[in-house]
């Protein structure tokens, strides 16, 4: 079993789930600053009813997170100790443009990321930067309706221009939007849009997605103009859908479900709206701008690589009587009797990763990058201070085995692997700190009253060895 010698190993985080310091250094307010933990959360991230007036009594986990803003040197040093050659992180748009529509950026924000990237550089860690990871300045939501509005393309481009120019030479791997297809499941969290009425939901979603796809193509163009070394990726929440039975109706239902996701990558990788989707637009009377310059843009500025997250496969049935679904996921799927699930009800399917990698590579024949994969679990600190997360090691081992098989036996071209949350962070779906993913434990909790002290878990040494042996010792 072998991986290429230049294979990139590391971990992935997002600004709103780690940084905290939401009001430091002239940072503006952002969509996730107003999403509390607890029962209100689901409603807000899905239907977009965040209240931008401060509600005392509620706890907003993104505001404090794990205070990586003040701990990044220590954290990156720990990543380096594990041997990371890549660190995927996102930039908080509202640190750079506090309102989002200014012409000039906030120097304090730029300086912060400059220091972060220089720290990475000192350890020979390649940053992989997500330009927008579930992040939108609150001002753009309040005053423009976020991505529902075409003007967002220019605001986003101005932000990209600032990043590409300022970080030229420090960053070469970029992802335009995190899990662009998550707009289907959590429109507010993913993009800041609010779905006003169910009837026009798809028009609203695909209009906003269309703006993001145009913005992504424009950003790709700009990135290359500023530095031809730049490598741009799209990013998809992936995971193949299986039919519940071999009934052709179930197989067909699974194919249709996968298309919902592939639509986004079809545009970003192939450069045009696929025929099946154009038919759907006609059927649903969804109107989008397909002027010649938009079509040219999409076709001339496709991405260099396909970033994707993989947590599990999905299961679908055409029979409405089959209804038993998993829990704790933003997009519940049918329970698969062949699979176990995590404490949060997410199905665990390592072979599904190999299947998904093959589906993506068969379809696109472009380099893939696994930019998220991991297990969210309740970790226990033993009286001796140890955190024995063998379940996490098992999860990752089985997934990495399948990843290597896809490369080694199936010939998939894979650039790298960044596990999700190498350090504990705020869960996007639940807002909980107790849903931990890290190799590094953070003394922080669901109420935000912890000390933020960092501690290595058992998986820390395990992952270090995996990286050192390029996946040979698992
Ligand atoms: C993806 C997001 C991440 C991350 C991850 C795990 O959808 O890109 O931001 O949070 O899922 O999900 P959760 O945090 O809900 O466990």
Looking at residue 328, what is its pLDDT?
Answer: 66
d(CA 10, CA 423): 11
pLDDT tens, residue by residue, 17-62: 999 999 999 999 999 999 999 888 888 998 887 888 877 778 999 9
Name the closest-CA residue to atom 11, ligand 1: 428
> Which of ligand 1's atoms lies nearest the C-alpha of 330?
15
d(CA 230, CA 222): 10
- CA geometry: angle at 206 spanning 254 and 164, to 5°? 105
Q: Sorting pLDDT into bands at 50, 70 and 90, what band is 326?
A: confident
Residue to substitute in 239, 429, 435, 438 for testing ligand 1 pocket (most ligand atoms within 8 angstroms of CB): 429
Name the closest-CA residue to atom 16, ligand 1: 427
Query: Residue 332 pLDDT > 90, yes or no?
Result: no
Mean confidence (pLDDT) of the chain: 96
Q: Let me know if residue 260 belongs to a domain.
A: no
**Catalytically annotated residues:** 372
The CATH number linked to 112 is 3.20.20.80
Q: Let me know if residue 106 belongs to a domain.
A: yes
For residue 429, report the distance from its CA to the centre of ligand 1, in Å: 6
Mean pLDDT along residues 114-143: 98
Looking at residue 68, what is its pLDDT?
Answer: 98
For residue 465, report the distance from its CA to the centre of ligand 1, in Å: 25
Q: Which structural domain range is residue 380 located in?
A: 8-236+364-393+403-468
Name the closest-CA residue to atom 15, ligand 1: 429
Q: What percent of the chain has pLDDT over 90?
A: 91
Count of domains for the chain: 1
Looking at residue 1, what is its pLDDT?
Answer: 65
| Least-confidence region, from 57-61, 69-73, 187-191, 407-411 | 57-61
Q: Let me know if residue 305 belongs to a domain.
A: no
Query: Residue 269 pLDDT > 80, yes or no?
Result: yes
For residue 318, report the distance from its CA to the centre of ligand 1, in Å: 28
Query: Residue 325 pLDDT > 80, yes or no?
Result: yes
Mean pLDDT along residues 150-169: 98
Looking at residue 145, what is its pLDDT?
Answer: 95
d(CA 119, CA 108): 17
Looking at residue 43, what is its pLDDT?
Answer: 87
Residue to substitute in 19, 427, 430, 437 for testing ligand 1 pocket (most ligand atoms within 8 angstroms of CB): 427
Mean pLDDT along residues 252-256: 97
Q: Let me know if residue 462 belongs to a domain.
A: yes
> Which of ligand 1's atoms lies nearest the C-alpha of 237?
7
For residue 431, report the distance from its CA to the centre of ligand 1, in Å: 10
> Which of ligand 1's atoms lies nearest the C-alpha of 374?
6
For residue 370, report the distance from its CA to the centre of ligand 1, in Å: 14
Helix (H) or strand (E) holding 282: helix 275-284
Whole-model pTM: value is 0.98
Q: What percent of the chain has pLDDT over 70?
A: 99
Query: Residue 196 pLDDT > 90, yes or no?
Result: no
Residue to substitute in 16, 428, 446 for testing ligand 1 pocket (most ligand atoms within 8 angstroms of CB): 428
Q: Let me know if residue 77 belongs to a domain.
A: yes
Looking at residue 50, what is its pLDDT?
Answer: 80
Ligand 1 binding site (Cβ under 6 Å of any ligand atom): 14, 17, 178-179, 237, 309, 372, 376, 420, 427-430, 435
Query: Residue 122 pLDDT > 80, yes or no?
Result: yes
Q: At what angle do helices 201-226 and 292-300 cross, to 10 degrees?
A: 60
The DSSP secondary-structure symbol of 32 reads G
Looking at residue 128, what is its pLDDT?
Answer: 99
Q: Let me know if residue 249 belongs to a domain.
A: no
Cβ pair 272, 301 in contact under 8 A: no
> Which of ligand 1's atoms lies nearest the C-alpha of 429?
15
For residue 376, report the distance from its CA to the centre of ligand 1, in Å: 9
ipTM > 0.95, yes or no: yes
Spatial CA neighbour of 368 closest among 258, 217, 236, 270: 236
Mean pLDDT along residues 198-214: 94
d(CA 375, CA 371): 14
470: alpha, beta or left? (left if phi > 0; alpha if psi -120 to 50): left
Q: Let me know if residue 308 belongs to a domain.
A: no
Name the closest-CA residue to atom 3, ligand 1: 428
Mean pLDDT along residues 81-98: 98
> Which of ligand 1's atoms lies nearest the C-alpha of 427?
14
Query: Residue 76 pLDDT > 70, yes or no?
Result: yes
Q: Sorting pLDDT into bands at 50, 70 and 90, what band is 327?
A: confident
Name the closest-CA residue to atom 10, ligand 1: 428
3-state secondary structure of 22: coil
For residue 277, report the distance from its CA to the centre of ligand 1, in Å: 27
Query: Residue 336 pLDDT > 70, yes or no?
Result: yes
Name the closest-CA residue to atom 9, ligand 1: 428
d(CA 238, CA 349): 13
> Which of ligand 1's atoms lies nearest the C-alpha of 376?
16
- DSSP per position, 110-178: HHHHHHHHHHHHHTTPEEEEES-SS--BHHHHHHH-GGGSTHHHHHHHHHHHHHHHHTTTT--EEESST
Q: Which residues contact 158 (CB under 8 A, 6 or more apart)?
A: 97, 103
For residue 374, report the distance from its CA to the centre of ligand 1, in Å: 9
Mean pLDDT along residues 229-245: 98
Cβ pair 369, 308 in contact under 8 A: yes
Q: Let me know if residue 408 belongs to a domain.
A: yes
Residue to substitute in 176, 395, 420, 430 for testing ligand 1 pocket (most ligand atoms within 8 angstroms of CB): 420
What is the C-alpha end-to-end distance of the chain, expressed in Å? 11
> Which of ligand 1's atoms lies nearest the C-alpha of 14?
9
Q: Number of C-alpha atoms within 13 angstroms, CB side, residue 216?
A: 32
């Amino acid at each position: 079993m072998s991986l290429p010698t230049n294979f990139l190993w590391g971990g992935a985080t997002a600004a709103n789930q780690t940084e905290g310091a939401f009001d430091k250094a002239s940072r503006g307010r952002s969509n996730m600053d107003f999403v509390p933990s607890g029962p209100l959360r689901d409603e807000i991230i899905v239907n977009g009813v965040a209240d931008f007036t401060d509600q005392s009594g509620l706890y907003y986990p993104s505001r404090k997170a794990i205070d990586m803003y003040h701990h990044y040197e220590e954290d990156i040093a720990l990543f380096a100790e594990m041997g990371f050659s890549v660190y995927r992180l996102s930039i908080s748009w509202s640190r750079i443009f506090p309102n989002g529509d200014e012409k000039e950026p906030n120097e304090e924000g730029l300086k912060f990321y400059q220091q972060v990237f220089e720290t990475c550089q000192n350890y020979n860690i390649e940053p992989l930067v997500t330009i927008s990871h579930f992040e939108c300045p609150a001002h753009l939501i309040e005053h423009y309706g976020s991505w529902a509005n075409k003007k967002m393309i220019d605001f986003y481009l101005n932000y990209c221009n600032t990043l590409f120019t300022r970080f030229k030479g420090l960053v070469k791997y970029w992802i335009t939007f995190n899990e662009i297809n998550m707009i289907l499941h959590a429109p507010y969290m993913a993009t800041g849009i609010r779905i006003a009425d169910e009837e026009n939901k798809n028009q609203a979603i695909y209009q906003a997605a269309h703006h993001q796809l145009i913005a992504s193509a424009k950003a790709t163009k700009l990135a290359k103009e500023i530095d031809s070394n730049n490598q741009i990726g799209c990013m998809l929440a992936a995971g193949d859908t299986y039919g519940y039975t071999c009934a052709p109706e179930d197989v067909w239902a699974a194919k249709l479900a996968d298309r919902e996701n592939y639509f986004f990558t079809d545009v970003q990788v192939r450069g045009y709206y696929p025929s099946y989707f154009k038919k759907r637009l006609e059927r649903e009377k969804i109107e989008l701008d397909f002027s010649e310059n938009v079509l040219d843009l999409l076709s001339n500025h496709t991405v260099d690589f396909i970033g994707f997250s993989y947590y599990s496969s999905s299961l679908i049935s055409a029979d409405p009587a089959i209804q038993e679904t998993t829990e704790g996921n933003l997009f519940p799927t049918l329970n698969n009797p062949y699979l176990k699930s995590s404490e949060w009800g997410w199905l665990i399917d390592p072979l599904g990763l190999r299947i998904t990698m093959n589906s993506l590579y068969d379809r696109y024949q472009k380099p893939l990058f696994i930019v998220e994969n991991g297990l969210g679990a309740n970790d226990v600190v033993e009286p001796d201070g140890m955190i024995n997360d063998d379940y996490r090691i098992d999860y990752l081992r089985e997934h990495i085995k399948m990843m290597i098989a896809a490369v080694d036996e199936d010939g998939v071209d894979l650039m790298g692997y960044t596990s999700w949350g190498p350090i504990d962070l705020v869960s996007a779906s639940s807002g909980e700190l107790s849903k931990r993913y890290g190799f590094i434990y953070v003394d922080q909790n669901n109420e935000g009253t912890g000390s933020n002290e960092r501690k290595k878990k058992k998986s820390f040494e395990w992952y270090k060895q995996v990286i050192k042996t390029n996946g040979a010792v698992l």
